[in-house]
Amino acid sequence: MKSVRWLPLLAAASILLLTTPLLAHHGAADYDRDQLLTIKGTVVDYELINPHTVIVVRGGPEGKDPTEWRVESVSLNMMVRVGWKRDSLKPGDVVSVTGHPGKGGKPVMLLVKAVLPDGHELSAPYE
């Protein structure tokens, strides 16, 4: 009879252990960390949120046709620690962002640094 009391606890622990890998984070594996790319363009959207900060910039590398680039970075609290604020960027701002491009050729990038409209430079906290 005593072993029956432990059955719900054992079942809950088993479910937790089996589902934890599903919560794993993808990290920076989608980005080519050996390359750096600079995009100059206009901010379309900026979200200093969890789990990732996202900047959408319409522009491109010099000499290329403009497109919308999704620039990702780390969480809100890590970005705030290195100087980012909710009003650091706003739609319509002209910026330059440098980062590691996506491996699949899509217009995505992992942020390394951004040069804001006033010339101030902010970096991502992991570089």
* Residues 37-72: tens digit of each pLDDT: 999 999 999 999 999 999 999 998 887 889 999 999
Assign 4 a pLDDT band (cuts: 50, 70, 90). low
The whole-number pLDDT of residue 78 equals 95
Q: What is the mean pLDDT of residues 83-107?
A: 95
Structure-block tokens of residue 71: 């620039």
Residue ranges of domains in the chain, CATH in brackets? 37-123 (2.40.50.140)
Give the C-alpha separation, 68 to 43, whole Å: 9
Instruction: Please compute Rg for the chain using Cα positions.
Output: 20
CB 102 within 8 Å of CB 31: yes
The whole-number pLDDT of residue 24 equals 44
Structure pTM?
A: 0.77
Taking alpha carbons only, the member of 119, 95, 99 closest to residue 40 is: 95
* Residues 9-33: tens digit of each pLDDT: 656 655 555 544 444 445 668 899 9
**CA 57 remoteness from chain centre:** 13
